[in-house]
């Protein structure tokens, strides 16, 4: 018998667990641990900022896990007890809200319930998104912004987390990074690009979310 012809091919090693793609919930869980570590003094502000940036750049679980390997995990119950923020049920099927300004202007402000995702498109126009009095119905809110010969401005309260990333092509894309002091503070992520235009996201000084738990329960009718 020709053993070479009947020899089995080597079995490829299984994909390590760390190779799995990370979800938004996975990133939020790691970010929660980092925020609590900052609040307890386990990380300084510079270390926290570096790790948070790495969290939202991570594509796989293998990239996320080393960021908290030297920190104790925090249970969901402990985080809920330590934070006044309470959110409604997170509906992944909720459609994105769309704001469009073409040779015109569009504004979203006042008391309104922010959805999971908002798409903003400005073409020779301007869009203002003011979240300073909004109700955050979920932990993470993503704003996808595109400005072509136009402008998009996003304003948020000072005590939430704000981050994002994008590109300005003969234009401006600027996000002022914030980190909420409370472990379960809302997170707003602004992504996109501008072409001969401007996208700007920053806090509105003197505006804070106060007693979000009470406001959200009243809004949801509980």
Q: What are phi and psi of 32, to 5 degrees?
A: -60, -45
Contacts of 137 (CB under 8 A, 6+ apart): 87, 88, 113, 114, 115, 216, 220
Distance CA 116, CA 137 (A): 8
Joined together, the tokens standing for residue 46 give 């510079």
CB 113 within 8 A of CB 215: no
DSSP-derived letter for residue 182 is S
Q: Which alpha helices (H) appear in the chain, and where do they start and end?
A: 3-6, 24-39, 45-57, 61-64, 76-82, 212-220
User: What region, left, alpha or beta, does residue 190 occupy, with left being phi > 0 and alpha being psi -120 to 50 degrees?
Assistant: beta
CA gap 22, 54 in Å, rounded: 13
- Mode of pairing for the β-strands spanning 140-148 and 187-195: parallel
pLDDT along the chain (222 residues), means of 10: 50 57 82 75 78 85 90 56 51 82 94 91 97 88 95 94 91 90 83 95 85 47 48
Residues contacting residue 167 through CB under 8 Å, at least 6 positions apart: 173, 193, 194
Q: Which pLDDT score is estimated for 74? A: 57
How confident is the model at residue 151, as a pLDDT?
97
* Nearest alpha-carbon partner for 52 in 67, 42, 70, 74: 67
The count of C-alpha atoms lying within 13 angstroms of the C-alpha of 199, restricted to the half-sphere facing its C-beta, is 27
User: What's the pLDDT at 87?
Assistant: 59
Reported pTM: 0.60
């Amino acid at each position: 018998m020709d053993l070479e012809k009947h020899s089995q091919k080597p079995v490829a090693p299984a994909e390590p667990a760390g190779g799995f793609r990370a979800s938004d919930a996975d990133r939020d869980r790691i970010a929660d641990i980092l925020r609590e570590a900052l609040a307890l003094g386990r990380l300084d502000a510079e270390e926290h900022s570096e790790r948070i940036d790495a969290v939202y750049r991570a594509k796989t679980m293998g990239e996320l896990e080393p960021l908290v390997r030297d920190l104790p995990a925090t249970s969901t119950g402990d985080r809920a007890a330590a934070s006044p923020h309470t959110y409604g049920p997170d509906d992944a099927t909720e459609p994105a809200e769309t704001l469009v300004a073409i040779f015109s202007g569009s504004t979203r402000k006042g008391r309104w319930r922010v959805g999971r995702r908002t798409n903003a498109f400005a073409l020779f126009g301007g869009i203002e998104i003011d979240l300073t009095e909004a109700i955050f119905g979920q932990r993470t809110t993503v704003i996808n912004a595109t400005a072509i010969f136009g402008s998009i401005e996003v304003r948020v309260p000072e005590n939430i987390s704000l981050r994002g990333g994008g590109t300005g092509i003969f234009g401006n894309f600027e996000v002022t990074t914030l980190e909420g002091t409370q472990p379960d503070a809302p997170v707003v992520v602004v992504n996109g690009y501008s072409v001969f235009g401007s996208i700007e996201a920053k806090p509105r000084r003197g505006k804070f979310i106060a007693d979000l738990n009470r406001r959200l329960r009243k809004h949801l009718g509980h």
